[in-house]
């Protein structure tokens, strides 16, 4: 895909349907509860109505897309775990034994596992093989990937999301696996917001203080060596990003282009969301932030996106675990709108209109 073709897809992402969202808001106010009392569930119901263009949408099947890739920057010793864990965990996803598999079974979601850049030969009937390259290069020495590879990974994500939409999936979530990917995510966040690397770089899989300082130094070096242009999201993504991050940005853009809500997981998924938002600002309206990760920088990242997380469970795992946990909340918001009685139908008195005299 050329950048021109990508540009055409981005230009096709439209705003929310304000009429449908307003109709949902009116409907919510007719239900047997004080106006606004279901809080954020009401906001989500209105958002999804605006996304789907109807006041009482049905979403159907749901899936979490788990993009896996490796990171050359692991050579610098930035993670508590070795890079071999990436392909090992992919096999674990395919065998159904990872946390995201358990939570997806719990919430009725499918796990779609994609090799977009794992540095190992992987083959499995359930694996979607779309390897753009065998892991990124070490960003502390030069660009992680070429601009063309970044575009190719985004295209892959767009096509996967659109394919799922065609298969009848109406609610998607982002998940990832890639040892070293909190380093790439922090680098992206630092460049795109101008924050100091130390302010937005955390412990990932659980590194100690000395290794955290080293990780922050590696990110400073990667930015100094590559000089990414903060106003050019593809340049930033190619130089200090990752293949799974690019792929997830594509999933989000593909979902938005098909007007499907997409639930964003933790720190790495949110970095992908920020790339998507910088490429196509309207795509933000299709995102639902699932949870606030423990990873340093996640609150800043969500603030930059203008998204409020639904859950705060002190999780810091990734894989899409927080996102699939938020699926039932999204579904609950729509079920309330569809099934609750109205004041009229249930014969319940509405609020007394005016403040009584003397009150
Ligand atoms: C067994 C295991 C399972 C995981 N599942 C997700 N991650 C998470 O940890 C990685 C990011 O942390 P860092 O940047 O410190 O390497 C990613 O793969 C992320 O999804 C895992 C990590 C491990 C070790
Ligand atoms: O929030 C996340 O997604 C996260 C945080 C730490 C390690 N892996 C993932």
Question: According to the model, what pLDDT value does residue 353 have?
Answer: 79
Q: pLDDT of 143-162, one tens digit each?
A: 999 999 999 999 999 999 99
Question: According to the model, what pLDDT value does residue 356 have?
Answer: 73
Is the shortest distance between the CB of 32 and ligand 2 below 6 Å?
no
**Cross-strand pairs, 174:** 65
ipTM for the predicted complex comes to: 0.99
Interior CA angle at 287 toward 283 and 292, to 5°? 135
Looking at the structure, tell me whether residues 282 and 158 fall in a common domain: yes
Q: Provide the b/e sequence for 232-252 (b: ≥16 CB within 10 Å).
A: ebbbbbbbbbbbbbbbbbbbb
Looking at the structure, tell me whether residues 77 and 47 fall in a common domain: no
CA-based nearest residue to 182, from 40, 282, 288, 296 = 296
pLDDT band at 1 (very low <50, low <70, confident <90, very high): confident
pLDDT band at 358 (very low <50, low <70, confident <90, very high): low
Residue-number span of the structural domain to which 247 is assigned: 61-331
CA-based nearest residue to 113, from 144, 146, 90 = 90
Q: pLDDT of 84-122, one tens digit each?
A: 999 999 999 999 999 999 999 999 999 999 999 999 999
Give residue 89 CA to ligand 2 midpoint distance, Å: 15
Structure tokens at 255: 């979902």
Looking at the structure, tell me whether residues 222 and 148 fall in a common domain: yes
Looking at the structure, tell me whether residues 199 and 105 fall in a common domain: yes
pLDDT above 70: residue 359: no
Looking at the structure, tell me whether residues 12 and 127 fall in a common domain: no
Distance CA 161, CA 254 (A): 5
Name the average pLDDT for the chain: 98
Question: According to the model, what pLDDT value does residue 258 have?
Answer: 98
Question: Taking the CB of residue 5, how many other CB atoms lie within 10 A of it?
Answer: 11
C-alpha pair distances (Å), 62 with each of 21, 179, 351: 22, 26, 38
Pocket around ligand 1 at a 6 A CB cut-off: 79-81, 85, 89, 176-183, 204-205, 317-319
pLDDT above 80: residue 281: yes
CA-based nearest residue to 261, from 292, 282, 285, 244 = 285
Give residue 268 CA to ligand 2 midpoint distance, Å: 6
Averaged pLDDT for residues 314-340: 98
């Amino acid at each position: 895909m050329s950048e021109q073709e990508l540009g055409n897809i981005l230009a096709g992402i439209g705003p929310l349907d304000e009429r449908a969202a307003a109709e949902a808001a009116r409907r919510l106010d007719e239900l047997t509860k004080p106006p606004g009392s279901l809080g954020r569930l009401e906001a989500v119901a209105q958002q999804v109505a605006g996304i789907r263009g109807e006041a009482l949408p049905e979403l159907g099947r749901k899936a979490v897309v788990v993009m896996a890739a490796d990171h050359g920057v692991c050579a610098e010793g930035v993670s508590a775990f070795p890079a071999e864990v990436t392909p090992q965990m992919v096999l674990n996803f395919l065998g159904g034994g990872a946390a995201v598999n358990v939570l997806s079974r719990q919430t009725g979601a499918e796990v779609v596992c994609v090799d977009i850049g794992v540095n190992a030969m992987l083959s499995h009937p359930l694996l979607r093989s779309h390897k753009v390259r065998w892991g990124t290069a070490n960003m502390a020495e030069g660009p992680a990937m070429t601009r063309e590879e970044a575009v190719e990974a985004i295209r892959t994500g767009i096509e996967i999301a659109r394919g799922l939409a065609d298969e009848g999936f109406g609610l998607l979530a982002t998940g990832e696996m890639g040892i070293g990917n909190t380093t790439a995510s922090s680098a992206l966040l630092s460049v795109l917001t101008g924050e100091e690397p130390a302010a937005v770089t955390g412990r990932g899989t659980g590194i100690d203080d000395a290794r955290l300082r080293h990780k922050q130094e590696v990110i400073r070096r990667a930015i100094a060596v590559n000089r990414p242009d903060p106003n050019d999201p593809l340049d930033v993504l190619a130089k200090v990003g990752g293949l799974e991050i690019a792929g997830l940005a594509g999933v989000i853009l593909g979902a938005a282009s098909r007007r499907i809500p997409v639930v964003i997981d933790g720190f790495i998924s949110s970095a992908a969301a920020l790339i998507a938002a910088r490429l196509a600002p309207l795509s933000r309206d299709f995102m639902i932030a699932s949870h606030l990760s423990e990873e340093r920088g996640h609150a800043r990242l969500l603030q930059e996106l203008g998204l409020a997380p639904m859950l705060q469970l002190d999780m810091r795992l990734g894989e899409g675990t927080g996102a699939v946990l938020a699926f039932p909340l999204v579904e609950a918001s729509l079920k309330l709108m569809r099934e609750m009685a109205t004041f009229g139908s249930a014969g319940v008195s509405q609020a007394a209109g005016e403040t009584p005299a003397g009150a």
